[in-house]
Amino acid sequence: MNIKKYIGLAILIMSFLTSCNTSITSKAITQTKPAITKTIGPPKTQPNEISIGTYNIQTFGKAKREKENIITKLADIADDYDILAVQEIKDKEEKTATYFLEKINAKKENNYSMIVSPRTGRTAAKEQYAFYYNNQKIEYMNESYMYPDEKDKFEREPYIAYFKTKNGNFDFILVNVHTQPKNATQEINSLTDVIKYIQNKNPTEKDIIILGDLNADGHYYNEKNTKQPLEQEKYFWAIPDNFDTTTAKTSNTYDRIIFLRENTLEDYTKKSGIDKYYKRWTGINFKELSDHYPVWAKFYTNKDTD
């Protein structure tokens, strides 16, 4: 074989090895999206699991709390969750959040606590956020605060709280959000700034979970635009686009649960749901409860590594 043939053969071999290496590298960095098991109904957890839910209770104030049949049903919904993030508490007297906790704990087997935000919003129609949590399974870590929205990007700045499970090792930070519909895209895109702020404030805690009424669908937000910050591959949406989270005739996924896949996907059971409670109750106008349904995701208590 002459030298030209040796050179030609060497080039072919190098080209083959390069193409193989490129293929292998490509496969190594490609991330799969694990299938989510979707449940229509409230969560049912195993001993090593917790349920985290979010519920926009439409215009939750004096008028709604004084309707006994309505507040009782809302309490029946709330105690299905180990932690429930609530949005749209509207009460100048600031009595509704506490009264709701009393109704949840009216069942003798329940032992729930609550943390609630200050009233927030640019207009007179201010709202509060709240977290209701089951003391038997969840411990509040005595740290909660409103995101310091110095550039005024949010109509209602997110409410942030730190929790851990009493059994197992899962600790996490929840970010309760209710975006302004007409400004939803900008506010959703700004949630990455909230995550960065939390990471700087709590550098050792990696499990940060965004949840709430993000208005992340319809003409408020284009969830198919992958150039948007929260649509990057590193974020995992545990409430995907095929969950219809409102009582309206249109199908929209406004309510979401989102986290960083690198840190929290190991803790996620791959099970999420939406509680369309009309399937288990009769004799009540469900739109009197809210124009949203609760959504939820389940997490393991014993697989955390941070």
Q: How far is CA 137 from the centre of its chain?
A: 19
For residues 275-291, one letter each, b for 16 or more C-beta atoms within 10 angstroms of the residue's C-beta and e for the rest, the string is bebeeeeeeeeeeebbb
- Burial of residue 202 (CB within 10 Å: 0-12, 13-18, 19+) is middle
Point out which residues pair with 259 in neighbouring strands. 209, 236
Question: What is the bridge-based pairing of β-strands 295-300 and 49-60?
Answer: antiparallel
pLDDT band at residue 30 using 50, 70 and 90 as cut-offs: very low
The structure's pTM equals 0.88
Tens-digit pLDDT profile for residues 38-97: 999 999 999 999 999 999 999 999 999 999 999 999 999 999 999 999 999 999 999 999
| Phi, psi angles (nearest 5°) of residue 67 | -90, 105
What strands lie across the sheet with 159-165, from one edge to the other? 138-146, 159-165, 171-178, 208-213, 255-260, 235-237
Instruction: Yes or no: say if 304 and 171 are a contact pair by the CB < 8 Å rule.
Output: yes
Secondary structure of residue 5 in the 3-state scheme: helix
Tens-digit pLDDT profile for residues 268-302: 999 999 999 887 887 778 889 999 999 999 999 99
Percentage of the chain modeled with pLDDT above 70: 89
pLDDT band at residue 33 using 50, 70 and 90 as cut-offs: low
